[in-house]
C-alpha cells in the first residue's frame, strides 16, 4: 500500500487526509486551527499555517509513511517574505477587502476588457495584485523589504521543499498570470518582477522532496499543490460542464470548462484548473457564516426556518464580491407585522443563495459550456450538510442536487495530486477512480420564482446605498 497525504490549508484551519493511493480509502484525518485577526482587515501569520500543517498531518497517523504530499490552499492571499525567507507581516487573506480602491484603480488604468483578455479576470479586492498595490501604498517600508511574494499554498510548499514553486491554477488568481506565463508588463506596472515570484510547475510534476526536520519522511515527493477551489474540483474528478456550488464561509460556484473564460463584467473569474483546462468561478464573501450570524441574532437554531413571508435579507456583512459591492453591509427589507423569526432566517438563506445561483449560467457560458435542462448541481462544503441549505438550493434552482459523500474535497484533491506522482495518471482520473463525486441525489423542488424576483428587485433598488 502506498500512502499519500493531501493538505487543505483554509482560512481558519488546516485539514489533512492520509489516503491509500490505490483505492482512495481514507486512512487517517487531522485538523488544526489557526488564527485570523480582525480589525480593519483579515490577516494571518503564515507561520501559523506551517504549525497547523504539521499538527494536522501528524494526527493522521501516517505522516512518516507518506510517499508523496501535496498542499491545497486558500486562494489569493498575499504572503511577503524578506531576503531570509521570513514573513515580513501577516498575510493579507482573500477576504480582506481593504484593497478595493486599489482594485478599482487597476481596472480603471487598463480597462475591464484588457484585464479579462490578458489575466483572464477583472481583479477585485480579493485578488493578489490589488493587495500588493495596497501594501505599496499603505505600508511602503514593508513592500520595500519584500524579496519574495507567495500565495498561501506556495509558502507551505516552499517550507516543505525549499523550492519556490506554484501551479497554474493558483497562479491564475493573482492578476498577473497568463497561459503563456507571467505577464511582464502587468508585473512592471505593479513594481514586481519574476525573480520575486515562484516558478510555475507543469501539472503532474514533482516540485521536489520533503526536507529533513519536518513531520513527513525526508525524501517524500511533493506535488505542485494548487488553490483550494482547484483542489476541490480535482477531488470531485470533475468533467466539463458539471456545476458545483460550494457552501462555506464563502460561497463559490464553478465548473471545469474546455474554453478559457474572459468575463469583462468581473462576475466570473477566469481561473485555470490544476491540469490543462479552465475553472471559471464566481465567489461570494457571505455564505454560511453570514446566515449563522442572522440565526444568532434571532436566537434560533440555524435549521429553524419557516416558509412564507415577504422579507428580503441581503446578508452582506463583510461587503460583497458577487455582486461587486465591496462597501455593502447587511440589509433587511419587506418586514410586515406577521413576519416571523423563522421567515427572516429563511430570507437570509435565500439572500445568500441568490448570488450564487444568479452567477451559475454565467460561469458556464464564460467557458463555452451550457447547462442541460435537467442537469444536476453538485453541493459541497460545510453548509451542504444542512437540510435548510439543501432545500433552499433545490427550491431556488428547481434542479436536482447531488451530495458527494466525500467531505474534505480540497484535501482529497491534493491527495490525488500526490498520488499522480506515484502512478503517472492524471489527478482527475485518480479522483474519478476513487469515486469522489459519488453520493445521494435529492430530487428537485418547484422553482420559487416569486422569491427570486423579490430579491432581484430589492438588490437593484439598494445598490446605490452600497456605493461607498
C-alpha torsion sign, points 372, 376, 380, 384: positive
Residue pointed to by grid coordinates 416571523? 340
Q: Is the pLDDT score of 375 beyond 90?
A: no
Residue pointed to by grid coordinates 442572522? 294
Listed residue (366, 409, 379, 392) closest to 445, CA to CA? 392
In the predicted model, what is the mean pLDDT of the chain? Answer: 94
Given pLDDT bands bounded at 50, 70 and 90, which one contains residue 372? Answer: confident
Q: Is there a contact between 156 and 162 (Cβ–Cβ < 8 Å)? A: no
Distance CA 371, CA 24 (A): 30
Q: What is the Cα 200 distance to its own chain's centre?
A: 19
Name the residues annotated as catalytic: 228
Q: Is the pLDDT score of 97 beyond 90?
A: no
For 228-261, what is each residue's pLDDT tens digit? 999 999 999 999 988 999 998 889 999 999 999 9
Distance CA 44, CA 54 (A): 17
For 344-371, what is each residue's pLDDT tens digit? 999 999 999 998 998 888 899 999 998 8
Q: Is there a contact between 231 and 157 (Cβ–Cβ < 8 Å)? A: no
Q: What average pLDDT does range 131-136 have in this prediction? A: 98
- Residue 382 burial by CB count (10 A; 0-12/13-18/19+): exposed, middle or buried? middle
Give how far Cα 98 sits from Cα of 21, 359, 389, Å.
42, 24, 30
> pLDDT value at position 378?
96
Distance CA 82, CA 144 (A): 9
The number of residues making up the chain comes to: 468
Q: Is the pLDDT score of 467 beyond 80?
A: no
Q: What average pLDDT does range 109-118 have in this prediction? A: 95
Residue pointed to by grid coordinates 497517523? 61
Residue pointed to by grid coordinates 515580513? 88
Amino acid at each position: 500500500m502506498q500512502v499519500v497525504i493531501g493538505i487543505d490549508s483554509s482560512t481558519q484551519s488546516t485539514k489533512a487526509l492520509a489516503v491509500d493511493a490505490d483505492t482512495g480509502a481514507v486512512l487517517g484525518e487531522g485538523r488544526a486551527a489557526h488564527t485570523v485577526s480582525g480589525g480593519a482587515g483579515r490577516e494571518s501569520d503564515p507561520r501559523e499555517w506551517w504549525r497547523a500543517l504539521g499538527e494536522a498531518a501528524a494526527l493522521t497517523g501516517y505522516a512518516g509513511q507518506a510517499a508523496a504530499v501535496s498542499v491545497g490552499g486558500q486562494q489569493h492571499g498575499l504572503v511577503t517574505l524578506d531576503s531570509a525567507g521570513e514573513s515580513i507581516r501577516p498575510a493579507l487573506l482573500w477576504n480582506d477587502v481593504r484593497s478595493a480602491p486599489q482594485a478599482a484603480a487597476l481596472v480603471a488604468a487598463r480597462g475591464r476588457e484588457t484585464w479579462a483578455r490578458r489575466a483572464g479576470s477583472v481583479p477585485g479586492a480579493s485578488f493578489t495584485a490589488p493587495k500588493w498595490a495596497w501594501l505599496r501604498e499603505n505600508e511602503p517600508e514593508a513592500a520595500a523589504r519584500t524579496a519574495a511574494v507567495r500565495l498561501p499554498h506556495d509558502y507551505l510548499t516552499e517550507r516543505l521543499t525549499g523550492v519556490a514553486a506554484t501551479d497554474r491554477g493558483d497562479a491564475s488568481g493573482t492578476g498577473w498570470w497568463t497561459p503563456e506565463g507571467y505577464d511582464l508588463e502587468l508585473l512592471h506596472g505593479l513594481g514586481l518582477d519574476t525573480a520575486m515570484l515562484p516558478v510555475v510547475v507543469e501539472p503532474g510534476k514533482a516540485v521536489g522532496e520533503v526536507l529533513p526536520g519536518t513531520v513527513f519522511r525526508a525524501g517524500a515527493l511533493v506535488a505542485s499543490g494548487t488553490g483550494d477551489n482547484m483542489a476541490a474540483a480535482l477531488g470531485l474528478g470533475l468533467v466539463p460542464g458539471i456545476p458545483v456550488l460550494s457552501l462555506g464561509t464563502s460561497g463559490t460556484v464553478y465548473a471545469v470548462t474546455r474554453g478559457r473564460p474572459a468575463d469583462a463584467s468581473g462576475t466570473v473569474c477566469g481561473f485555470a484548473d490544476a491540469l490543462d483546462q479552465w475553472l471559471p468561478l464566481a465567489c461570494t464573501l457571505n455564505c454560511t457564516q453570514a446566515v449563522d450570524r442572522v440565526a444568532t441574532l434571532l436566537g434560533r437554531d440555524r435549521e429553524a426556518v419557516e416558509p412564507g413571508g415577504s422579507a428580503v435579507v441581503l446578508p452582506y456583512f463583510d461587503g460583497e464580491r458577487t455582486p461587486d459591492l465591496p462597501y455593502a453591509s447587511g440589509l433587511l427589507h419587506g418586514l410586515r407585522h406577521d413576519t416571523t423569526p423563522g421567515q427572516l432566517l429563511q430570507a437570509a438563506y435565500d439572500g445568500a443563495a441568490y448570488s450564487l445561483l444568479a452567477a451559475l449560467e454565467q460561469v458556464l457560458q464564460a467557458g463555452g459550456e451550457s447547462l442541460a435542462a435537467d442537469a444536476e448541481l453538485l453541493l459541497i462544503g460545510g453548509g451542504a450538510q444542512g437540510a435548510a441549505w439543501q432545500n433552499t438550493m433545490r427550491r431556488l434552482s428547481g434542479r436536482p442536487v447531488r451530495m458527494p459523500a466525500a467531505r474534505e474535497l480540497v484535501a482529497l484533491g491534493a491527495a490525488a495530486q500526490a498520488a499522480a506522482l506515484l502512478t503517472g495518471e492524471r489527478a482527475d482520473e485518480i479522483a474519478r477512480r476513487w469515486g469522489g463525486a459519488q453520493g445521494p441525489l435529492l430530487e428537485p423542488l418547484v422553482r420559487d420564482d416569486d422569491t427570486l424576483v423579490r430579491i432581484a428587485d430589492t438588490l437593484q433598488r439598494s445598490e446605490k446605498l452600497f456605493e461607498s
